[in-house]
Structure 1
């Protein structure tokens, strides 16, 4: 997972043709904890860019000022602070028409959740909600935690990693108590399967299917040792589906990589999630297709090929069956004027 981070000033890796860039977390030195916190200004201009992009890391935003909108995957959230937002690795997001956005960001990879690995699932649940409008009391409480995280990162006093991990855990738990969209306005555009008549109900990498998206270079293929418990095996499977190449794998191929039989994998995943591995792989495939259609200029036949479909017509039937919409109609509904950006001069 350390390949989700880079040293400060490292140029971005050029993304596959037509796709939004993938930003990695910048660290001051190789031994630094995979964590950063501070204001938008301290985190740099990429933290408020209007260009669609992805991360290899989690981002928690406490927004205290500004206007415009924040687009996360296929939902456009009006900016009327104070807000709290959670963005998962692989989600595509950007700011629209922002004016004087201000607040505090916490950025971290999965490595940083070592003391509280259960926070991964809580963060996925928070990302399903996407956007919280805070009342005065919650805004004050969240603001103090974010300020403490930023101070620990800035001062780097003895034990700052331990304190930061503890504060982050408290922040995640407190955020999980927030009422969804309390006192605020929902997204002006929720898209895809949420609106469609199809069977896949996906709201992003942490959608109903429980899948998550790309975590960056760490998603290289390779065998994974079989976890002892069903819950751990289901978690390992969920993390496996975040690999870009996994959208074209069968349940048997996933089971082979996890070192278990397809039957054992099916039992464990169904017990933990209520859904079969095949259903979760389909959901991951549909979500990836939606990202490529909404945020790239790739022809439908190339989108199909990247998802492992040799026949574009079959891909179109698959997409319509799962979402209730054709790839062309989905793209037309969600097309933006600039889908991808040049990244040669940006940092990771």
Structure 2
């Protein structure tokens, strides 16, 4: 996607004052494949960033050593390796009190998913359960696969991009099979409602509201951007997810507000504006209705906030 990659040395961006920094994927050359893989040391210090930040790309991390915790949105996961972590664009994450963190990191943008565009839906489902603890055999298989990805990327031999896409697809499908809360482990990309025109419309809607700020739009505005009627959009999304576009938009706005409340020191009024509410009082009523708590109460019961960029805090 345009703006999701940069050349080495380009500073990460904060689109608006107070928002967490946004990391874009560094490419060695402008026409490089939007993919990278290697150890934490090879990928660089931002792979261990201890401050809340977002990505414009997907990140899959195979953690093989370390202590501390990994925080993804509202969840804090203790490090007891081996683990597999999946972070999707827009999520806010950080490594907390990490010591001896080691493993392999794989980074790629949506543009890399050329052969299997249905993998975008699979990745979003995996992002709902971003922290998986691996048993011995699964850890060994994952380590071999991650090593192959890093080796193929490092050598850059002719046809390496095709090999990388094939290896990545194996990794995604195997990860989807792992037990744990979240999506149906047996569901594969392109299955069921994801097939056909209705699935394509639902997929485009999901991609649209996954972008920061796009969840402020109405169902009608989303339908116009996708090029369908509101009724068609509602039918397609309901067939794919069992829920309506309006419900998913409310969930996305609530999730973004939660991220800002626990990831920045913005005031409640500022968070309301960031979440697309002109009236802070209405925002408070909306938030309480969706979560059962006021914004202030929600923030008070979540530790780990850091100074926002607007307040002169950490810059990447």
Determine the structure 2 residue equivalent to 1:248.
216
Question: 1:95 deviation in Å?
Answer: 0.8
Contact 1:251–1:277, Cα closer than 8 Å, also in 2: yes
With CA pairs under 8 Å and 6+ residues apart, which has the higher RCO, 1 or 2? 1
TM-score, with structure 2 as normaliser: 0.91
Determine the structure 1 residue equivalent to 2:9.
9
The reply on whether 1:303 has 2:253 as its aligned counterpart is no
Contact 2:60–2:84, Cα closer than 8 Å, also in 1: yes
The reply on whether 1:56 has 2:56 as its aligned counterpart is yes
Evaluate the alpha carbon distance shift between residue 67 and residue 150 of structure 1 in structure 2; reply closer, same or farther with a 3 A threshold. Answer: same
SS state of the match for residue 81, structure 1?
Answer: coil
Contact 2:208–2:214, Cα closer than 8 Å, also in 1: yes
Contact 1:71–1:96, Cα closer than 8 Å, also in 2: yes
Question: 1:85 deviation in Å?
Answer: 0.8
Determine the structure 1 residue equivalent to 2:280.
312
Determine the structure 1 residue equivalent to 2:242.
274
SS state of the match for residue 243, structure 2?
Answer: coil
The reply on whether 1:259 has 2:227 as its aligned counterpart is yes
Kindly report which structure 2 residues correspond to 1:12-161, keeping only aligned pairs within 5 A, or say none.
12-161=12-161
Determine the structure 2 residue equivalent to 1:192.
none
1:289 equivalent among 245, 248, 257: 257
Evaluate the alpha carbon distance shift between residue 337 and residue 127 of structure 1 in structure 2; reply closer, same or farther with a 3 A threshold. Answer: closer
Evaluate the alpha carbon distance shift between residue 344 and residue 300 of structure 1 in structure 2; reply closer, same or farther with a 3 A threshold. Answer: closer
**Alpha-carbon distance in structure 2 between the residues aligned to 1:249 and 1:89:** 19
Which shows bigger deviation, 330-339 or 171-180?
330-339
1:234 equivalent among 186, 197, 202: 202
TM-score, with structure 1 as normaliser: 0.83
Structure 1: unaligned runs, 5 residues or longer:
182-202, 207-226
SS state of the match for residue 61, structure 2?
Answer: strand
Let me know the Cα RMSD of the aligned residues: 1.9
Evaluate the alpha carbon distance shift between residue 343 and residue 331 of structure 1 in structure 2; reply closer, same or farther with a 3 A threshold. Answer: closer
Evaluate the alpha carbon distance shift between residue 245 and residue 179 of structure 1 in structure 2; reply closer, same or farther with a 3 A threshold. Answer: closer
Question: 1:337 deviation in Å?
Answer: 4.8
Question: 1:334 deviation in Å?
Answer: 1.7
Structure 2: unaligned runs, 5 residues or longer:
184-194
Determine the structure 2 residue equivalent to 1:330.
298
Which shows bigger deviation, 169-178 or 245-254?
245-254
Determine the structure 2 residue equivalent to 1:211.
none
Contact 1:62–1:85, Cα closer than 8 Å, also in 2: yes
Contact 1:4–1:109, Cα closer than 8 Å, also in 2: yes
